[in-house]
Amino acid sequence: MSSLQWGGRFASAPDAALLAFGSSLEDDLVLAPFDVRCSMAHVAALASGRVLRAHDADALRAALERVAGEIDDGSFAAWALAGSFEDVHGAIDARVRGYAGSAGERLHAGRSRNDQVATTLLLYARDRALRGATLALDVAALLEDRAAEALERRTLLAATTHWQPAQPVLLAFWLDAAAQPFVRAAERFARVASDAARFCPLGSAALAGSSLPLDRAAAARELGFGAPSRNALDSVGDRDVALDLLHAAARAAVAASRPSEELVIWATPAFGYVRLDDAASTGSSLMPQKRNPDPFELVRAAGARAIGIYAGALASVNGVALSYHRDLQEAKAQIVAGTEAALAALEAFRRAFAHVQFTGASSARAGDGYTVATDLADAVIASGRSAREAHRLVGERVLEAETEGRPLDRRDAVALGVPDAPVDAAESVAAKRTAGSTHPDAVEASIAATREAIRGLSESLP
């Protein structure tokens, strides 16, 4: 039982299979660097409260620095996985005891794994939220750069609703639209990072605080928190920020999933709007001609995966009484797994999108499917007719053109009494007047504003 942090009141060792069932070590390993930071802060709290003598504190710091080096080079994970530890926190404690000797036996004074895990999760949440914000902003900036290029070329596109041709837009308009959710994702991540730095649970102990004179303020300062947490009972079981991190990560995965759907379809020969470089394509083990957009298919699925994990994590916390209960170990595993998977999908989208080449083929088909019909109806309304009447009249012209197998053209505009109305995709785009529309001037303004928002958010991140 030497690998465990408890055991004095037990007459025999736990069932090995049940101990393995209860172990979260493999799920926890990603938290190892944050646990070392947490332990360093606890040493500061013990030393400042005169619970530790100076030479013991120095020995613990040296041991923790040694463990941190092993975490960085990967040797700690191999060592920990070879042991029978309940979690990464217990593994680090054992490693420190091995290096620090008798001083190592003093590390856990006044501390429970309850406040230790809560603090470590907040440190993890802060780190991953900042990484997520940076990644989301990188994707948004990439999309806006491509939007600016497409705006110069005036590439057109038939935008869709219900996957049916709807209205002509600039490709730059689509790219700018795809960038907006990533800006919002970065804002969510930034809020999580800020919230994760507010209150430090360390020193809450199991649930009621400690009888030892721990300097909680010193620990909070060392870890970059604004203040010690206010209520120990709440602190040890609070997973709100960690769940907010997972939610932000899931929303970012959804932001990447939605344009991935269109890119997968646009890459088919039936559309041919985009071509993926070899670096972002895969082949078939059977069909020599295949060129598959696998990265975007996997990113498309990643949104669903993240949503499912988030729902599971939230359900794991639901109904759990105040303070710590082992159910929260399940939530921790889901939070870590879901966050890592979502951030990996975001990075994959960033890398894959850099290899997307827009062919320009969408311009030739931007008017297909009678996409200028709404412009004709708007022109009829502007001439004094009601919206309902305009809708009916233009619908009749569409039916007639469809029957004759031709597009809407100038003859239809003349017949409707609006001879100068837009009858092709370029005229449709140029006719838009409202802010936020697909008009080139509006798109240019949106790109500029979004770039400024990206710049401001980037500068605000620590």
With bands split at pLDDT 50, 70 and 90, how would you rate the model's confidence at 27? confident
Share of the chain above pLDDT 70, in %: 96
pLDDT at position 1: 46
More confident residue, 330 or 1: 330
**From 75, 284, 383, 460, the catalytic residue:** 284
CATH fold match for the domains 17-109 and 114-364? no
| pLDDT given at position 5 | 63
Confidence at residue 21, expressed as pLDDT on a 0 to 100 scale? 75
Q: Is the pLDDT of residue 6 over 60?
A: no
Q: Which of 2, 162, 211, 285 is catalytic?
A: 162
pLDDT in tens, 333-373: 999 999 999 999 999 999 999 999 999 999 999 999 999 99
Is 19's pLDDT higher than 80?
A: no
> Structure tokens of 12?
């025999």
254, 306 Cβ separation under 8 angstroms: yes
Has 284 been annotated as catalytic? yes
Query: Please, which residues have CB within 8 angstroms of residue 34's CB and are 6 or more apart in sequence?
Result: 120, 121, 123, 124, 127
CATH 1.20.200.10 fits 114-364, yes or no: yes
CATH class of 17-109: mainly alpha
Between 236 and 6, name the one with better pLDDT: 236
For 231-260, what is the mean pLDDT? 98
Sequence ranges of the domains in the chain: 17-109, 114-364
Q: β-strands 199-200, 227-228: how paired?
A: parallel
Q: Tens digit of pLDDT for each residue in 154-204?
A: 999 999 999 999 999 999 999 999 999 999 999 999 999 999 999 999 999
Section 122-143 average pLDDT: 98
Rg, Å, the chain Cα set: 29
- CA neighbor of 156 nearest in space, from 427, 352, 403, 384: 427
Residue 13: is its pLDDT beyond 90?
no
What percentage of the chain exceeds 90 in pLDDT?
93
Provide mean pLDDT across the span 393-404.
Answer: 97
pLDDT for residue 371:
98
Annotation says 162 is catalytic? yes
Model confidence pLDDT, tens digit, residues 80-104 = 999 878 899 999 999 999 999 999 9
How much is the pLDDT for 23? 75
What average pLDDT does range 50-75 have in this prediction? 97
pTM of the model: 0.94
Residue 148, phi then psi, degrees to nearest 5: -65, -40
For the chain, give the mean pLDDT.
Answer: 95
Q: How crowded is residue 184: how many other Cβ atoms within 10 Å of its Cβ?
A: 17
